[in-house]
Structure 1
Amino acid sequence: MSVNGQTNPYRNELVQERFRRAVIYIALTIVTLIMVFPVMWMISVSLKPTTETFSLPPQFIPETLQFDAYSRVLGNAQFRGFFLNSYLVGIAVTLLSVAIGTLAAFGFSRYRFFGEKTAKLFVITTQMVPTITLLIPFFGVIVWLRLYDSLWGLIVTYLTFALPYSVIMMNGYLDTIPKDFDEAAIIDGCTPIGVLFRVLLPVATPGIISTAVYTFLLSWNEFLFALALTRSTEMRTVPVGIAMMVGEFGLKWDEMMAFSVLGSVPILVLFMWVQRYVVSGLAAGGVKG
């Protein structure tokens, strides 16, 4: 379209904007399909017999849906024990890391003391060490503490990984809250602890939730230390339990995928429930005010 023989610039900008949006939507759709496909295939395999898993051509949608694998997994006391262990470890690590991390972050955010920068640098440095290099030292420490093959050993180990992240995230979030809130609360008669629990924590709810979700995910999905620091079947967690389903002469793919789906459901439900808090918490916690 032209006006007096000239091209309308507004129309060109509109066409370019629509083209950019179309490219973005197509790219997002492709990326989403790539990420979702393994999950959908896992669900598909869990709903059909093992004999159909490697059928050619592959059948993404089973001819007949069957839930026998889920019934066998849920009916197995050993598998239920794996879930219970993962829940106990995950909840304990989450509560401890959030509680201790929030108190430490409160000190870093609201007080100035000798060695403050060194302490912060130490906390950040712990996140730079590859966890695989700590396996043997942790094994020795856990054995020395007589916590080997126990859930407490896993809780202590995971806490050392989750706590630095909790401190960093909560410190960044508390820094975004103006100190005027503290001063107003102190004038009204609040103690420093009262300021934390009555003023800062209600405002910092998104940061607390995002930190809690991350620490729970860390403990729920961890495999290597759960395998190395436990020996008996009664102490195994969900990731190790899934790996134990690989037999010497065969593999029941439907049961393994059903167990994997059931192990993924709590994480998906948790993330969908608190998604908006996680996004806002990460955005605020990643920026220092």
Structure 2
Amino acid sequence: MATVLPGKAAPGMTQRTRRILMKTALFFGLGLGAIFAGAPVLWMLSTSFKSNGEVFQNPPKLITESFSLDAYTAILTNGAQLRFFLNSYIVAIAVTALTLLVGILAAYAFSRFTFPFSRTINAVIVSVQAVPPITLVIPYFGLVVGLGLYNTYPGLILTHMVFTLPYAIIMLTAYFNTLPKELDESVKVDGGNSWTALWRILVPISVPGLIAVGVYTFMISWNEYLFALALTRTDDMRTVPIGIQLLMGQHSYEWNQMMAMSILGSIPVLILFLVFQRRFIGGLTSGAVKA
């Protein structure tokens, strides 16, 4: 039977205490982070159910006494506001689909083939991520106007892809690098070619990586504000972020409608993340760890 010397705690007790303290500190930190991240969203949701005058009530109240859906009704019955959502869906879905298509082809080329200037091209792709978007507004504005794409869907889609494609290529290249090249060779032995290996073998088993890139791309395009403002002129081409900004009038702000539209605008990204949460995280970690 083991004996414990006087003045010394049992080794198991010390380790257990340390484990409990670490878990307590972890949960406490996660709780603070959840409050810090969730409080603004909770306040935004509360404000959307208030009247515009009640927003400035002092002291402010999280739970409103005059619960109302008027702000949501005003948004959902306004044709112009609904057009903003339609535009955002069209642009974000198109950007996501085209980014995945081009990203898959480019990533497969970088992962499986050796060609001149591949390192230089990779460096250029990475460098694009380091350029602040605001510095490119004037050059892209001139380019889009010169190509006759100002105030059009193609103009917005192509501009958004400039910022989503580098991430897609980097992530998918890293993901394809985790897949053994023997898969390609086995397809060629069976009479297939690189095209068959890509679309019949690599793409189906790369679904987690594709979902991670797709969700991220959709989120970036859906939330983009700067270029959506600079490259559109009429309300029938504006997107949700611009629609929220337009609720700021010259003499008054429709705060409750702004919050309601913000909540409605957050729902698509939230649903995407909740539905594909496991594959999204798995795709990100796989590309990051095994690249």
Shorter-chain TM-score above 0.5:
yes
Cα deviations by residue, 1:92-126 (Å, 9 ceiling, x for unpaired): 00000100010010000011112111111111111
Cα distance in 2, alignment partners of residues 169 and 44 from structure 1: 38
Cα distance in 1, alignment partners of residues 56 and 12 from structure 2: 55
Task: Choose which of 157, 161, 166 in structure 2 pairs with 1:159.
Answer: 161
1:32 aligned partner: 34
Cα distance in 2, alignment partners of residues 205 and 264 from structure 1: 24
Cα deviations by residue, 1:163-188 (Å, 9 ceiling, x for unpaired): 11111110000000111211122212
Kept in 2: contact 1:173–1:287 (CA 8 A): no
Task: Choose which of 10, 13, 24 in structure 2 pairs with 1:11.
Answer: 13
Shift of 1:56: 1.8
2:200 aligned partner: 198
State the TM-score, normalized to the length of structure 2: 0.96
2:87 aligned partner: 85
Shift of 1:29: 0.1
1:215 aligned partner: 217
Shift of 1:30: 0.6
Name the aligned partner's letter for residue 106 of structure 1.
Y
Q: Matched residue pairs, number?
A: 288
Shift of 1:4: 4.5
Alignment gaps of 5+ in structure 2: none
Q: Within the alignment, does 1:147 sit opposite 2:149 as a pair?
A: yes
1:60 aligned partner: 62
1:245 aligned partner: 247
Cα distance in 1, alignment partners of residues 79 and 89 from structure 2: 15
Cα distance in 2, alignment partners of residues 255 and 118 from structure 1: 48
Cα distance in 2, alignment partners of residues 18 and 189 from structure 1: 59
Shift of 1:270: 0.8
Shift of 1:159: 1.0
2:236 aligned partner: 234
More deviation in 98-107 or 183-192?
183-192
Cα deviations by residue, 1:199-257 (Å, 9 ceiling, x for unpaired): 10111101101111111111110101111111111110000010000011111211111
Cα distance in 1, alignment partners of residues 115 and 255 from structure 2: 57
Cα distance in 1, alignment partners of residues 287 and 205 from structure 2: 13
Alignment gaps of 5+ in structure 1: none
Kept in 2: contact 1:106–1:171 (CA 8 A): yes
Cα distance in 2, alignment partners of residues 63 and 15 from structure 1: 47
Q: Secondary structure at the match of 2:56?
A: coil
Name the aligned partner's letter for residue 243 of structure 2.
G
Shift of 1:278: 1.1
2:23 aligned partner: 21
Cα deviations by residue, 1:57-78 (Å, 9 ceiling, x for unpaired): 2110112321111111000000
Cα distance in 1, alignment partners of residues 87 and 102 from structure 2: 22
Equivalent residue runs for 1:66-215 within 5 Å? 66-215=68-217
Cα distance in 1, alignment partners of residues 260 and 217 from structure 2: 25
2:262 aligned partner: 260
